[in-house]
Structure 1
Amino acid sequence: MKSYRGGKATVTRNQKIKYAGKLTETSRELYYYVGSGSYVKALNVSKINGQYVFTKQPTYVIPRADMYVLNKDLKETSKVVRTGSKVKIDQVLIDTDYTDPQLYVRIAGTKDQFLYWTDAGDYPDEDEGNFSFRFFMDNNHNFAESTQSLVTFKQGLEKTTPFYNEQGQLIDLGGKYLEKAARGNFLPENNYQVDYARYIWVPSEKKAELFYHLIGTTFSMRDPHSKYEYTWVKQNIGSVYVKASDVTFKGLKVKTQNTAEEATKLAEK
């Protein structure tokens, strides 16, 4: 705490202080006015009127124990952050692909290094998690959409999920359709990763259409004609594409490998 005359005093951790008015900027720093010509630096305040202070800016976390840094697949790397160290972060992300969504933070200055906090339902709580936050962050992000390129079939196509080969021909799935298998009683979101876009000549339509290429060759398929209501099978379909007009794209942008004109000229040869 300091006064307008430049004098300084100290307050103890977690001490409650009355304040007056809005944030005040002095010497390029923000302060709360607490009366009698005294101010408290905003960076040292964790709660206002009993509510946590949030920030939109990068902040830092302090691990409660040594922690492995995770990659974009949420697998442990060889990198470790130590107990009590200050780790700068710039995003809070929630992975919804679980019965109980999980919360992660991204290490500032990276695109693919993360730390696991705990269940997202406990956020914000200064007593929970694998690390403490200096400030809790606003604008939580969806983990998958922040780290992957995804497509989801549009309404009306979820039970057919049309696939195409690289010749622009519709693939016969035998009545089955693409759907992620349930984990217990939980059905994951039916988002699918893609790695690039490409224009392909579609003979049946006599024109080039934009497609996304799905990552992988073996997929979880739902069989509505099975004896049991909920039956999924793993099926190797090979390299497949989905028509851009059939899906909703979200997440990281992908590169388009060619143009519609190039696909048309190739088909005319």
Structure 2
Amino acid sequence: MKKSKKLIVSLAAVALAAVPVITTSLNQVQAAQTTDQTQNKIATDGTLTLNHNTRIYNQRGQKLYSYQGSNGLLKKGATVKYADQVKAITNPDTKRYSFHKENFQDWFYLPYKTIKGQEYYSIGHGGYIKAANVQEIDSYSLYTNYATVRLAKITESGVGRSNNARIINSQGNFTNKYIKKDSKIVIDRTSDRVSLAGSMDILGLSNSYMEVFRLKNNKQQFVLRADIKKSSIPRQVILPYSNFTSVRIIRKSPIYNIHGIQDSDSAFPTIAEGHETDVKSLRYIWVPSLNKAELFYEGTEFYKDAEFKYIKASDVEYLFGKHLTPVNTATDVTPINTAVDVTPKKNDFDKSSL
């Protein structure tokens, strides 16, 4: 199973002074097209990328039909300069909208203004756009920590005539509890049933029965993404959740067994760089080929009921979830050397005893 992640450089590299000036028609603003990554990054610094056609508003939440030489309408996919400065935060739950960079450990947000219960980003010159219509900030995906959605009228998990949405528990299993179809609910996390169960061995593992959303007011209950009305699913990414620890493979990683032996017989003896997976424990294992103890993560999904299920901790980076501590020490697994040569060497004799 692969998850999208789905997750940093210093704040000084990103909290650039915003330029709130729009010099061309906003209908024609497009992201810079270049294959050079550095040029792409420069082109997107200080910008918002839109996920929907977007009207510009004033500070009272009124639509503008004339703005800086345009008709006040921005097209989906366009970029526009923002007027505030990006700030660092310690917890994405403290802000409705936030983003991270290369990993999930450091978060940032762009200050927004709430007008009539809706969040807006300032683009300067008295113009504002809805935060809900922003896909990216400085080319990084925008996350939201909750959203109101509506259940479908015909659900995937519904049973019988009622067709109400069936609730999933914190272990990824269906329960006998239901939420009435077509109801509005508030969700605050996205996950999948493997990340809840810690095992591929659960029922109903088709794509439509995999992804779930967590109910905001009940941290132990989830609903299928497939049970949500498609038009109500938020355009931004919902913050991720796992019962375990989510990591990303940073280099091609061999899979080991508890004895420190690499898998050499299966069709997939390694995990590719960039793969994201859940792990459930951290331990030292003696690796005979290296003649030393190494720190390993125990995976939840490498192989079902297989002996080979460990990857080196040095081959991964932490994304989110529980912070694990080793269950043992390197000393615990270091073998006692019983083959030490104790034969006296030529210069080892105590001459005083002769």
Q: TM-score, normalised by structure 2?
A: 0.40
Distance 1:105 1:156, change over 3 A: closer
What SS class does the counterpart of residue 68 from structure 1 fall into?
strand
Q: Could you tell me whether the CA contact under 8 Å between 1:91 and 1:140 is conserved in 2?
A: yes
Q: Which of these residues, 116, 120, 125, is aligned with residue 224 of structure 2?
A: 116
One-letter amino acid matched to 2:149? V
What SS class does the counterpart of residue 264 from structure 1 fall into?
helix
One-letter amino acid matched to 1:264? T
**Alpha-carbon displacement from aligned partner over 1:139-185 (angstroms, at most 9, x marks no partner):** 3345xx6454345554444xxx23132x4x324523743479xxxxx
Unaligned stretches of 5+ residues in structure 1: 1-17, 24-31, 36-40, 120-128, 181-188, 220-235
Q: How many Å separate the matches in 2 of 1:156 and 1:131?
A: 37
Q: What is the CA-CA distance between 1:198 and the residue it aligns to?
A: 0.9
Q: Which of these residues, 245, 252, 260, is aligned with residue 314 of structure 2?
A: 245
**Alpha-carbon displacement from aligned partner over 1:123-146 (angstroms, at most 9, x marks no partner):** xxxxxx53774x93633345xx64
1:60 correspondence with 2:148: yes
Counterpart of 1:255 in structure 2 is 324
Q: Which of these residues, 141, 147, 163, is aligned with residue 256 of structure 2?
A: 163
After alignment, is 146-155 or 202-211 more displaced?
Answer: 146-155
Q: How many Å separate the matches in 1 of 2:56 and 2:317?
A: 49
Q: Going by fraction, where is strand more abundant, 1 or 2?
A: 1
User: What does 1:46-195 correspond to in 2, within 5 Å?
Assistant: 53=132, 56=144, 58-65=146-153, 66-71=164-169, 75-91=173-189, 104-118=212-226, 129-130=228-229, 133=232, 136=234, 138-141=236-239, 146-151=242-247, 153-157=249-253, 161-165=254-258, 167=259, 169-174=260-265, 176-178=267-269, 191-195=276-280
Q: How many Å separate the matches in 2 of 1:218 and 1:91?
A: 27
Distance 1:131 1:246, change over 3 A: closer
Counterpart of 2:297 in structure 1 is 212
What SS class does the counterpart of residue 189 from structure 2 fall into?
strand
One-letter amino acid matched to 2:167? V
Unaligned stretches of 5+ residues in structure 2: 1-54, 65-114, 120-127, 134-142, 154-163, 194-204, 337-354
1:202 correspondence with 2:274: no
Counterpart of 2:17 in structure 1 is none
Q: How many Å separate the matches in 2 of 1:20 and 1:92?
A: 31
Q: What is the CA-CA distance between 1:212 and the residue it aligns to?
A: 0.8
Distance 1:59 1:192, change over 3 A: closer
**Alpha-carbon displacement from aligned partner over 1:199-247 (angstroms, at most 9, x marks no partner):** 233344343321111337954xxxxxxxxxxxxxxxx642642211234
Q: Could you tell me whether the CA contact under 8 Å between 2:132 and 2:236 is conserved in 1?
A: no
Report the count of equivalent residues.
194
Counterpart of 2:9 in structure 1 is none
Q: Could you tell me whether the CA contact under 8 Å between 1:88 and 1:107 is conserved in 2?
A: yes
Q: Could you tell me whether the CA contact under 8 Å between 2:167 and 2:223 is conserved in 1?
A: yes
Q: Could you list the runs of 4 or more consecutive aligned residues of structure 1 that deviate by over 6 angstroms after TM superposition?
A: 49-52, 97-103
Q: How many Å separate the matches in 2 of 1:209 and 1:93?
A: 31
Q: Going by fraction, where is helix more abundant, 1 or 2?
A: 2
Distance 1:237 1:171, change over 3 A: farther
Q: What is the CA-CA distance between 1:72 and the residue it aligns to?
A: 5.2
Counterpart of 1:9 in structure 2 is none
Q: How many Å separate the matches in 2 of 1:50 and 1:22?
A: 10
Q: Could you tell me whether the CA contact under 8 Å between 1:213 and 1:240 is conserved in 2?
A: yes
One-letter amino acid matched to 1:77? T
Q: Could you tell me whether the CA contact under 8 Å between 1:154 and 1:247 is conserved in 2?
A: yes
Q: How many Å separate the matches in 2 of 1:237 and 1:63?
A: 39
Q: How many Å separate the matches in 2 of 1:102 and 1:53?
A: 26
Q: How many Å separate the matches in 1 of 2:251 and 2:62?
A: 54
RMSD, matched Cα? 4.9
What SS class does the counterpart of residue 255 from structure 2 fall into?
coil
**Alpha-carbon displacement from aligned partner over 1:81-114 (angstroms, at most 9, x marks no partner):** 124544222235689x988998643210444532
One-letter amino acid matched to 1:173? S
Q: Which of these residues, 47, 58, 68, is aligned with residue 21 of structure 1?
A: 58
Q: Which of these residues, 257, 264, 267, is aligned with residue 331 of structure 2?
A: 264
